[in-house]
Chain A
Amino acid sequence: MTPVLTELTVGDVVAEANFPLTRDSLVRYAGASGDFNAIHYRDDVAQSVGLSGVLAHGMLTMGLAVQPVVDWVGDPARVLDYQVRFTRPVFVDVIEGATVSVVAKVGAIDLEAHVARIDLTVTFNGATVLGKAQARVNLA
């Protein structure tokens, strides 16, 4: 069932999810996306550019963060526009991995255009890792 725009209120939490990432997740994303930057799979390379270790691809974090919204609206085609700012790295420990948490709230409602803006709070270790993370979804 597609959510009904007139039943939404700004501030409503519409979806929440946790994504446990491991080094395997990063290798899988590297292969799927074609982004083979070694800072996403080699600690020595990450450390040589001043990072504490391997970090997730920003585009992996962006890609997974919108999935709770896709599941809520029921069809990936309903996502009209999606933007983020990359503000903090997600370091993925070789043993512990990393868990990225997503909370999706209604940020704005445009009844005329049948569009809701969903604002995402995306955190790792209690700190936000994406800024101005917003998806506009078609609820016509």
Chain B
Amino acid sequence: MNPELQGRVFPPVAPYLVGREKVREFSRAVFATNPINHDPEAARAAGHHDVVAPPTFAVVVQEATLAQLLAEPDGGIDFTRVVHGDQRFSYTRPIVAGDELTATLAVTSIKSLGGHSMVTAESTIVDAAGAHVVTAISTLVVRGDE
């Protein structure tokens, strides 16, 4: 892996429009049964504009930024050796159906540990007004030669 990736900020990816049915589909897939995830009336009764996405939904929006990282021509990251190490989501507000979200990736850390490399990628996700919604942080482990 190219150590010069550390500190690199990538161009924002194309905006992601959060659909109500997508939120429901994702909710079913992660066993989220709360009515606020599925029923717009229940969501509105709880003070939300529309159905609220489960806490890990941000990974769907983050995914395009990780694809950018893996495709970086001088990155030197072998996709077949990548293992997901850590994941974190830090919310300013929840993701709600109807949101148009834009994610921007920054590589915050590159480390070597016992022959493996670890890259920490932080995707900052903002809404159509530019206000922060969630930051998704992934640490990817790239296994060294065995």
Please determine whether chains A and B interact with each other in the same assembly: yes
Interface residues of A (CB under 8 A from B): 19, 25, 28-29, 31-35, 49, 58-60, 62-64, 66-67, 70-71, 74-77, 79-86, 132, 135
User: How many residue-residue contacts, CB under 8 A, span A and B?
Assistant: 107
Query: Are A75's CB and B56's CB within 8 A?
Result: no
Query: Are B31's CB and A19's CB within 8 A?
Result: yes
Cβ-closest chain B residue relative to A68: B31
Interface of chain B: mostly helix, strand, loop or mixed:
mixed
A49-B80, A71-B33, A85-B85 as given contacts; A76 in contact with B28, CB under 8 Å: no
Query: For residue A62, which residues in chain B have a CB less than 8 angstroms away from its CB?
Result: 56, 87
Contact with A along B41-80 (1 / 0, CB 8 A): 0000010100011111001100100000000000000001
Give me 12 A-to-B residue pairs in the complex whose CB atoms sit less than 8 angstroms apart, sorted by A's number.
A32-B30, A58-B87, A59-B87, A60-B30, A64-B30, A67-B32, A67-B54, A76-B52, A77-B93, A79-B55, A83-B88, A85-B86
Partner pick for B60 among A34, A49, A64, A86, CB 8 A cutoff: A34
